[in-house]
Structure 1
Amino acid sequence: MDTGCWLFGGQFEDSVFEERRERRSGPPASYCAKLCEPQWFYEETESSDDVEVLTLKKFKGDLAYRRQEYQKALQEYSSISEKLSPTNFAMKRDVQEGQARCLAHLGRHMEALEIAANLENKATNTDHLTTVLYLQLAIFSSLQNLEKTIFCLQKLISLHPFNPWNWGKLAEAYLNLEPALSAAFASSQKQHSFTSSDKTIKSSFPHAGKDCLLSFPETLPESSLFPVEANSSNSQKNEKAITDIQNCMAEKRETVLIETQLKACASFIRTRLLLQFTQPQQTSFALERNLRTQQEIEDKMKGFSFKEDTLLLIAEVMGEDIPEKIKDEVHPEVKCVGSVALTALVTASAEEFEDKWFRKIKDHFCPFENQFHTEIQILA
């Protein structure tokens, strides 16, 4: 046959004409898994593979960290970091995270935050960013910085809105914020300075700011302020002015505390809703943890003293975006995007997050503010 008649791709592979291998009779050879003794990586090795040597050192660092020997673990991680190839990005990120966690445990939080910031700048996918946010969360929790802790949780929720555990942590953080708010109000009330010229009250609270969770208005309503005169003949007016200001501050304090309880309650309800939706997909210890957490939330909800219709409204709002079936976020989809796009995935401020998730609830109670205030009794 003329070779010109052959179509491209029409030839047969030589393997088609080869004879088949004879199958061995009898059962197949059993598979023998390699068994490693405990702490096998402490044994002397003569390997010339640099990556293998560094991997063994990392295992030693991980074990030291597990044993809470943070200085020893830090030394192991640091020695690895110096010898790692610049192209071994995966191990470099793991080692730097280990260094940051050790530094946080050793009280060197600023150094830990610098490493975390560097990792955040070099993140290229949502998995990287999630890891960095959990690292920052651990550092700020160690510092007992509630504002930063809450903001880290809010950013994590922006990435993974259907993760119930982060919502639960956020609810707990809001509850822990209440004593700090009360202390801040007490301090702010004592340290205000009054002037008769501008009728303003200037707070000396150090964390005041637009996006600060513990900030309060620097200027009170004009109706509540009176010029404070130095003349002794006007002492009664001065006392009345101070009393009015204190009353106004007390009202503001109550409003902020109620809003904080509202956000904590809404976060707990969101947690419970997500746990209920994932419950049919779980078994064994995962299901036990789910049910136990739901019961813990139920017990904590009793401390809010919200009315039943209030709780139903919050549940409706916090469950609006939950589909009928949601996947368990054990292995969420990893999005590989640039650093700019990653930044856009997380909330830019606490104010933006709370406006998205809690605005509808707060707006509902706005016309009935006085009635809403009587629902919860907060000790001044």
Structure 2
Amino acid sequence: MEIFGSTFDDSVFSEARDRVCVCLSSYSAKVCEPEWFCDNAALDTDDSLEKQKVFKFRGDLAVRQGDYQKAYEAYSSCLEWIADNNLTIRRDVLEGMARCCTKLGQKDRALDLAHLLSKEASNTCHLSSLLLLKVSIYQHFGAVGSKMSSLQQLCSLLPFNPWHWFSLGQMCLQLSESAGEQTDRETEETQEEAEELNEDRVWLKACTCFIRTRLLLRILQQQQASFVLQRSENALQTTEDVLQRLNPKETTVQTLTEVMSEDLVPEKMREDYQDGESLASVHVQSFRERWWNKILLIGLLKTDGRQRQADMES
């Protein structure tokens, strides 16, 4: 049974009809020297597209060399020459600028650029890229609650992607193992986010995420081979090891498995997993609405939390 868009449309393999043969005139390929765009002469043109390319390449090279201030300046110059209808390059450059600001320690500017990207997001690809950008920004500046919120949004937007669940689970695991060691850097977090960083909540959320990861990886393994399958197997083994360390009660594991597998049916997965779908037609339930409230309603937080406390005291 194929899911996740792994099937092909038969028309891809059909032969073209009435194909017209066109004889091309002689063509001489343009030959460029290595790093030709670093030469000032590369800007001696009235072609806005050529100037855009020069500044974009300069920015990319500077990022590779670790010179983020130089990269930011090049990307800023590139932005001036991007055509209004070239949204792909514009988004790429804005994201590059945001990542440079992050490396330079300019949190507010990085988030402002991320906000610009959010205004122009028109499909789930755009939104998932934006959320991944926010995760990297929040991680760099130690905003734990905001990072967790962005990862939860990723899991809600793409609920059948095991790697987002795996990342959220790893974060919760780190928080659970370092409970009580958070410093004043968390003062920016909201009251609601602070509550979500409660030790028992983080522990239970870690269990939830890794159980969901395990369920998804087992489904995906049926369609994988080679190094892709090896990656999934490695992640699955890590997941199993982590769950042993978290040591939830068997009843907790069974209940969480039931809750987190309710939507894992092939028909629903084919319908919902449409990466690149227009945001106008996407309704994304929050992490709390879709999963967390069910878990809290069952009472796992209270019952397993008391058991964990008793185990620690004994």
TM-score (norm 2): 0.77
SS in 2 for 1:322: coil
The residue that corresponds to 2:293 in the other structure is 359
The residue that corresponds to 1:258 in the other structure is 200
Query: How well do the aligned residues superpose, as a CA RMSD in angstroms?
Result: 3.7
CA deviation after TM superposition for structure 1 residue 137, in Å: 1.2
What amino acid is the match of 1:361? I
Which of 1 and 2 has greater Rg?
1
CA deviation after TM superposition for structure 1 residue 279, in Å: 1.3
Q: Distance in 1 between matches of 2:144 and 2:180?
A: 14
Q: Distance in 1 between matches of 2:64 and 2:135?
A: 19
Q: Does 1:68 align with 2:33?
A: no
User: Structure 1, residues 284-334: CA drift from partner, whole Å, max 9, x if none?
Assistant: 22222111111111111111122333212211211111124756x9x9432
Alpha-carbon distance change, 260 to 38 in structure 1, aligned in 2, over 3 angstroms: same
| 1:1-380 equivalences in 2 (<5 Å) | 39=35, 41-42=37-38, 45=42, 48-178=46-176, 182-183=180-181, 206=187, 210-214=191-195, 256-324=198-266, 326=269, 332-338=274-280, 345=284, 347=286, 353-365=287-299, 369=302, 373-375=306-308, 377-378=311-312
Instruction: Give every structure 1 segment of 4 or more consecutive aligned residues whose post-TM-superposition deviation is greater than 6 Å.
Output: 32-37
Alpha-carbon distance change, 282 to 379 in structure 1, aligned in 2, over 3 angstroms: farther
Alpha-carbon distance change, 315 to 54 in structure 1, aligned in 2, over 3 angstroms: same
The residue that corresponds to 2:5 in the other structure is none
Q: Distance in 2 between matches of 1:94 and 1:208?
A: 29
Percent of pairs identical after alignment?
A: 33
What amino acid is the match of 2:138? F
Alpha-carbon distance change, 369 to 95 in structure 1, aligned in 2, over 3 angstroms: closer
Residues 181 and 214, structure 1, Cα contact 8 Å, conserved in 2: no
Q: Which deviates more from structure 2 when the two are superposed, residues 275-284 or residues 142-151?
A: 275-284
CA deviation after TM superposition for structure 1 residue 53, in Å: 2.9
SS in 2 for 1:335: coil
User: Structure 1, residues 166-206: CA drift from partner, whole Å, max 9, x if none?
Assistant: 1111112222333675257x99xxxxxxxxxxxxxxxxx95
Q: Distance in 2 between matches of 1:324 and 1:88?
A: 37
User: Structure 1, residues 133-179: CA drift from partner, whole Å, max 9, x if none?
Assistant: 11111111111111000000111112111111111111122223336
Q: Distance in 1 between matches of 2:229 and 2:302?
A: 40
Residues 52 and 79, structure 2, Cα contact 8 Å, conserved in 1: no
Q: Distance in 2 between matches of 1:333 and 1:208?
A: 30
Residues 114 and 130, structure 2, Cα contact 8 Å, conserved in 1: yes
Gaps of 5+ in 1: 1-15, 22-31, 188-204, 217-255, 348-352
CA deviation after TM superposition for structure 1 residue 207, in Å: 6.0
